[in-house]
Amino acid sequence: MAEFRDSSRVSMVDRLSLPRKEPIKIADEATIQLDDYFVPTHYLDYLDCLLIPHGTIRSRVEKVAKDIATDYRGETIYLLCVLKGGSAFFTDLCEALNKFHAYEGKTYLPHVFDFIKVKSYSGTSSTGQVSITGCDVTKLKGKHVIFVEDIVDTGLTMTKVFEYMREHVEPASVNVATLCEKRTHLSCGFKARYAGFSVPDKFIVGYGMDYNEIYRDLNHIAVINAAGIEKFKDEC
């Protein structure tokens, strides 16, 4: 007989040590025709196909928020939105977190947030370096921190951010919520605790993700085509 566990009695630290919930897998061959959804005219010639429609993204973000709210209940979360790509995910995630918090009538703050930029340098050193700008992360000592990212590709950036946080900041806990996780043979093995979708190894854009600063305004997630790569190759 399965052991009965009252989940409300399990501590946050124990909840965070449980295995992560796996992201929804978008198959390698998955494609949605551009004509099936509303796609702004200015992008019609510059996309191969849609991968995740906006409505599906919104629903999935709501569930990721619920998982976070459940794991961290009783604690104020310090959210760090990784600019610029993480901005759309961050906005919808906060909206959902606020909703769950308010519905449950909690008396403590749901979260505090800030915006950061992360630059990683591989250089000649095998460990590399990372610079985090936009917010003084050292003030997060002893706090429960979650980085909010658009996509984990090789995972190197977030691996270095974790090393930096542990060495220089000592937060009470640190995790990552990413909307997408790329299935790539170049992955260093980093896995975000919260991941919305596992996506094929293709260059994707939309919902905050860009190619040379273009496509962030597209509300679906889509695969860029060769014409788009050529057309926007000289943008910022």
State the minimum distance, in angstroms, from the CB of residue 47 to ligand IMP: 13
Q: DSSP per residue over 34-86, as a string?
A: GGGS---HHHHTTEEEEEE-HHHHHHHHHHHHHHHHHHTTTS-EEEEEETTTT
Nearer to ligand IMP, 143 or 182 (CB): 182
Backbone phi and psi for residue 125, each to the nearest 5 degrees, phi listed first: -80, 145
Please identify which residue in 81, 152, 179, 192 interacts with ligand IMP, judged by CB under 6 A.
Answer: 152
Choices 50-58, 106-114, 146-154, 225-233 (CB under 6 A): range interacting with ligand IMP: 146-154
State the minimum distance, in angstroms, from the CB of residue 144 to ligand IMP: 22
Tell me the one-letter amino acid at 166.
R
Among positions 45-84, residues that touch ligand IMP (CB under 6 A) are none
Q: Which residues are catalytic?
A: 153
218 is a contact residue toward ligand IMP (CB under 6 A): no
228 is a contact residue toward ligand IMP (CB under 6 A): no
- Render the burial of 206-220: b for 16+ CB within 10 Å, e for the rest: bbbbbbeebbbebbb
Coil/strand/helix, residue 27 = coil
State the minimum distance, in angstroms, from the CB of residue 37 to ligand IMP: 19
153 is a contact residue toward ligand IMP (CB under 6 A): yes
150 is a contact residue toward ligand IMP (CB under 6 A): yes
Choices 15-23, 59-67, 104-112, 150-158 (CB under 6 A): range interacting with ligand IMP: 150-158
181 is a contact residue toward ligand IMP (CB under 6 A): no
Indicate if the alpha-carbon torsion angle 217, 218, 220, 222 is positive or negative.
negative
Spatial neighbors of 173 by CB under 8 A, at least 6 apart, are: 12, 13, 16, 144, 145
Tell me the one-letter amino acid at 127.
T
Report the interface residues with ligand IMP, using CB under 6 A: 85, 149-157, 182, 203-205, 209
